[in-house]
Amino acid sequence: MKLLNRIEQIILEILKLKRICYPNFNFKINYLTIFSESKDDFKNLEKELRKIGKEEIANNGFKYLLKKPINYKKETISLIRVRKPDIHRKELGCADLIYKSLDYPQLRKIALDKGYDLIVRKDYEMIELSDFNINVYAYLVKDL
């Protein structure tokens, strides 16, 4: 699958996920991650993204600040991360979503009421949006 088609497919899936999990909120994609399927796929994604962005080291792979943002379905993507192959992540990818910080207590309450995963770390917590019928994840990240 061509890089742009893959990015567009992830965006479409994220949009579906947002509508299912939080239909009354208008989140935007902040940071998009492509999950590579193999070592060769990882290398090919790196090669393609180096052509259109500046590479920097990121958690479990690399991130690319795009020279020209990708605009698709009213989303503007300017930062893409590539995740190394992981047997636990067979999905297409994931994204961090932008939300109004004042909404976080309500978003957290909805997440707990609906049984969404709340991931707590030392300096931050995340609400994980997922659905069995959608092949991506999305996260609402809150610094603590």
Domains of the chain: 3-143 (3.10.180.10)
Half-sphere exposure of 27 (CA within 13 A, CB side): 29
- 33 Cβ contact list (under 8 Å, min separation 6): 80, 81, 82, 83, 93, 94, 95
Can you give the pLDDT of all 144 residues of the chain as single tens digits?
A: 699 999 999 999 999 999 999 999 999 999 999 999 999 999 999 999 999 999 999 877 789 999 999 999 999 999 999 999 988 878 999 999 999 999 999 999 999 999 999 999 999 999 999 999 999 999 999 987
Separation of CA 137 from chain center: 6
Tokens of 112: 């707990």
